[in-house]
Amino acid sequence: MALERKVNIKFEKVSYGQFYDAYKNLNQELFDDVIGEMYDELKLPTRSTTGSAGYDFKSPFAFSLAAGETILIPTGIRAIMPESVVLMVFPRSGLGFKFREQMDNTVGIIDSDYQFSDNEGHIMLKVTNDSKTNKVMEVERGKGFAQGIFLPYLVTDDDAATGTRNGGFGSTDSVCDGRLTTAYTTVDYSEGVLS
């Protein structure tokens, strides 16, 4: 059985307005020129080798996480993919091994219809340094901190999903009568995240 390796899948930057709003919502004191510089220097996720499954997400800013600390990172990236594909996001292998870096929802699941949300499908990744040896995890601006893998998925013969999405974390829990209402969650944002 031959697998088709290339389908209509790509990464794009979200609009500057979406990126700006995401960062201002996290930190009102962040200067506009700093946000603009981060946006201009955003790098789309890439694979390192032809045999790599994962596309490395690069951090828009440098950060340090002490053991037990968590950070929410608006990546500035959205994924465009057909309905039969999901993007799964995991910690980078090296950071997971050295610092027990973890995605706070264990595995990030980016559904194909997330690209149509009001936030343009802006991928937000929340990671924790779960080091048991008090190691400080440091990630430089523009360096990889997570990896995404596109996978096809199947649905059951009797699948009856009719709802549509408008939101991110937990938004599919809000589907009612075939309509989706926006679900909001509160996120802790550590001080001194941007350096």
**HEC-encoded secondary structure of 161-173:** CCCCCCCCCCHHH
Residue 93: per-residue pLDDT? 84
Distance separating alpha carbons of residues 90 and 105, to the nearest angstrom: 10
Q: Which domains, ranges and CATH numbers included, belong to the chain? A: 10-153 (2.70.40.10)
As beta bridge partners, residue 110 has: 87
Residue 193: per-residue pLDDT? 37
Distance separating alpha carbons of residues 117 and 190, to the nearest angstrom: 26
Between 98 and 4, the higher pLDDT residue? 98
Averaged confidence pLDDT in the chain: 83
Helix residue spans in 93-178 (DSSP H): 93-99
Of 177, 185, 178, residue with least CA distance to 164: 178
Helix residue spans in 27-122 (DSSP H): 32-40, 93-99
**Cα–Cα distance list, 165 to 7, 89, 102, 123 (Å):** 23, 19, 26, 15
Distance separating alpha carbons of residues 61 and 31, to the nearest angstrom: 14
Q: Which of 5-9, 64-68, 144-148, 158-162 has the lowest mean pLDDT?
A: 5-9
* Tens-digit pLDDT profile for residues 102-126: 888 889 999 999 999 999 999 999 9
Between 194 and 109, the higher pLDDT residue? 109
Q: What is the mean pLDDT of residues 11-35?
A: 93
* Tens-digit pLDDT profile for residues 3-19: 556 678 999 999 999 99
Residue 131: per-residue pLDDT? 87
CB 134 within 8 A of CB 67: yes
Residue 186: per-residue pLDDT? 30
Q: How confident is the model at residue 95 (pLDDT cuts 50, 70, 90)?
A: confident
Residue 179: per-residue pLDDT? 31
Q: Which of 76-90, 99-113, 140-154 has the lowest mean pLDDT?
A: 99-113
Instruction: Annotate 160-171 with b (16+ C-beta within 10 A) or e (fewer).
Output: eeeeebbbbeeb
